[in-house]
Amino acid sequence: MLWDVMKNDATLFMRADQVEAAWRLLMPVREVWAAAPPSDFPNYAAGTWGPEESQGLPAHGHSWPVPAELVVHCEKKG
């Protein structure tokens, strides 16, 4: 991006009016979310696999991919 700035190539950047339009669209959503946060949001700690509810999302025999670090860790323990 710095190279684009030095070349005065703005094709990868939003114009100011685009940024303002995006905020006009999103701010009402943010305000509603702030005023009425969901009571059942399944939040989870960083670095974990996520909420238990997410384990049921893949269907038809599919599963979440296991990170390579976890596979190596489990093989060393096994």
| pLDDT band with cut points at 50, 70 and 90 for residue 30 | very high
Looking at residue 76, its pLDDT comes to: 60
Query: For residue 5, how many other CB atoms are within 10 A of its CB?
Result: 11
Residue 66 has pLDDT above 80, yes or no: no
Looking at residue 10, its pLDDT comes to: 86
Looking at residue 73, its pLDDT comes to: 52
pTM for the full predicted model: 0.45
Q: Where are the domains of the chain?
A: 1-41
Phi, psi for residue 22 in degrees, rounded to 5 = -65, -45
> Tell me: the pLDDT tens digits for 34-65?
999 888 888 888 888 788 777 777 777 777 77
CB within 8 A of 43, min separation 6: which ones? 51
Find out whether 9 and 2 touch, Cβ atoms under 8 Å. no
